[in-house]
């Protein structure tokens, strides 16, 4: 991994733990596969730790690492980073996707709670009108009690959001085509077809992966099904949302959009969404950042520890998962 990633990911505590867990023949990370040290290090390596901006592992490098048993990625997806040859050789692969789910779920919870109180609209109305009860807010409709939240995707993040919502008095609908109704009920949510969910929820939050099947899952027709005044939260991927259709609905004042992921990202400088008060856009910060990054290294170190003890990995990446578009 580049030195900048190492500085962000491996803090002194992680470094100390790493030194206690493994023999580190060279404390400096490899920043490129064509470094002269690569051959000697990979000939000995049993565990390879990678991180954000690690260049894809060439098959030749893997072939020259006969002792390699585990690749522990301190970042998210390993798609495009780890060649399929790793699975073919039985090298275990793990990543920190689960650790990265937590800040996204926390962010989503915060957005749901604030959206339920219409904080974004109230702030804008207050700022512009400067009076105690600004006009344009439906005060009787504000509040989180009894609010219907629709979660799209029982993904790692979707499930964590569901858990975080438990202490509140929401009614939670969940759509996930990979689960049957019984499985969704067992998670503690009410199963709903996507159109039904979109039409009933006060707040719709997207947690599905970016796949050909999920591209523009929120298109003009589905956005049209949303309740007037409803809120759409996208922390998943911009590809899930038709941004032109969303911009029209936000401009009409029909919905509020809270988006941490966009398409393209960032939007073009003249995109209409930038200036609409009903659009709350953030620069892809829901996932691990700042103080949260250390959690991803901890997750990788936990996996290395399990591997060293001969235990099963908790977050092993299966080859099939690479079919998901990142």
For ligand NAD, the closer CB: 100 or 256:
100
What DSSP designation does 268 have?
P
Q: Answer yes or no: 271 catalytic.
A: no
Q: Does 236 bind ligand NAD (CB under 6 A)?
A: yes
- By CB under 6 A, what part of segment 192-211 binds ligand NAD? 207-210
Beta strands 171-175 and 70-73 are: unpaired
Q: Which of 8, 200, 237, 315 is catalytic?
A: 237
Of 266, 255, 262, 202, the closest CA to residue 234 belongs to 262
Among 86, 161, 286, 294, binds ligand NAD (CB under 6 A): 286
Say if residues 95 and 51 touch (Cβ distance below 8 Å).
no
- Cα gap 93→285, rounded to integer Å: 26
Q: Answer yes or no: 265 catalytic.
A: yes
* Beta carbon of residue 38, minimum distance to ligand NAD (angstroms, whole number): 30
Peptide bond into 110 cis (omega under 30): no
Among 45, 61, 125, 176, binds ligand NAD (CB under 6 A): 176
Residue 311: half-sphere exposure toward Cβ, Cα within 13 Å: 9
Among 8, 73, 200, 237, binds ligand NAD (CB under 6 A): 237
Q: Which residue has the tokens 């804008």?
A: 124
Q: Per-residue x/- mask for ligand NAD, residues 96 to 135, rule CB under 6 A? A: -x--xx--x-------------------------------
Q: Which two tokens stand for residue 81?
A: 């980073």
Q: Does 191 bind ligand NAD (CB under 6 A)?
A: no
Stretch that binds ligand NAD, among 31-39, 130-138, 281-289, 306-314 (CB under 6 A): 281-289
Peptide bond into 266 cis (omega under 30): yes
Q: Answer yes or no: 321 catalytic.
A: no
For ligand NAD, the closer CB: 92 or 152:
152
For ligand NAD, the closer CB: 122 or 211:
211
- Cα gap 86→94, rounded to integer Å: 12
* Beta carbon of residue 109, minimum distance to ligand NAD (angstroms, whole number): 14
Q: Does 182 bind ligand NAD (CB under 6 A)?
A: no
Q: Per-residue x/- mask for ligand NAD, residues 143 to 162, rule CB under 6 A? A: ---------xxxxxx-----
Interacting residues of 6 by C-beta distance below 8 A, sequence separation 6+: 29, 51
Give the three-class secondary structure for 128: helix
Q: What share of the chain is helix, strand, coil (3-state, %, to 5)?
A: 45, 15, 45
- Cα gap 209→215, rounded to integer Å: 9
Interacting residues of 110 by C-beta distance below 8 A, sequence separation 6+: none
Q: Which of 106, 124, 263, 265 is catalytic?
A: 265
Among 50, 287, 293, 307, binds ligand NAD (CB under 6 A): 287
Among 284, 292, 295, 305, binds ligand NAD (CB under 6 A): 284
Helix (H) or strand (E) holding 258: strand 255-259
Q: Which stretches of the chain bind ligand NAD, using CB under 6 A? A: 97, 100-101, 104, 152-157, 176-178, 207-210, 213-214, 235-237, 260-261, 284, 286-287
Active site residue ranges: 237, 265, 284
């Amino acid at each position: 991994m580049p030195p900048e990633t190492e500085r962000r990911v491996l803090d002194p505590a992680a470094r100390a733990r790493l030194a206690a867990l493994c023999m580190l023949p060279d404390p400096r990370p490899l920043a490129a596969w064509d470094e002269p040290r690569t051959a000697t290090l990979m000939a000995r390596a049993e565990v390879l730790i990678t991180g954000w901006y690690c260049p894809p592992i060439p098959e030749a490098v893997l072939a020259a690492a006969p002792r390699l048993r585990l690749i522990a990625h301190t970042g998210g997806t390993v798609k495009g980073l780890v060649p399929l040859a790793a699975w073919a050789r039985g090298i275990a692969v793990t990543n920190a996707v689960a650790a990265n789910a937590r800040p996204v779920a926390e962010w989503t919870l915060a957005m749901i709670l604030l959206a339920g109180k219409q904080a974004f609209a109230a702030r804008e109305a207050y700022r512009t009108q400067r009076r105690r009860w600004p006009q344009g807010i439906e005060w009787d409709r504000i509040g989180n009690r009894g609010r219907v939240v629709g979660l799209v995707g029982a993904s790692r993040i979707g499930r964590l959001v569901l858990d975080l919502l438990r202490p509140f008095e929401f009614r939670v609908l969940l759509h996930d085509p990979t689960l049957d109704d019984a499985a969704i009920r067992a998670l503690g949510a009410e199963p709903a077809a996507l159109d039904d969910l979109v039409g009933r929820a006060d707040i719709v939050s997207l947690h599905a992966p970016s796949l050909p099947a999920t591209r523009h899952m929120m298109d003009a027709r589905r956005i049209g099904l949303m309740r007037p005044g409803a809120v759409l939260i996208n922390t998943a991927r911009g590809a899930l949302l038709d941004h032109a259709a969303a911009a029209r609905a936000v401009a009409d004042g029909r919905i509020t959009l809270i988006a941490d992921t966009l398409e393209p990202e960032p939007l073009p400088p003249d995109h209409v969404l930038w200036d609409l008060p009903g659009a709350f856009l953030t620069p892809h910060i829901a996932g691990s950042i700042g103080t949260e990054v250390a959690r991803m290294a901890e997750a990788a170190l936990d996996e290395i520890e399990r591997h060293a003890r001969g235990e099963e990995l908790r977050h092993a990446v299966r080859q099939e998962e690479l079919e998901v578009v990142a």
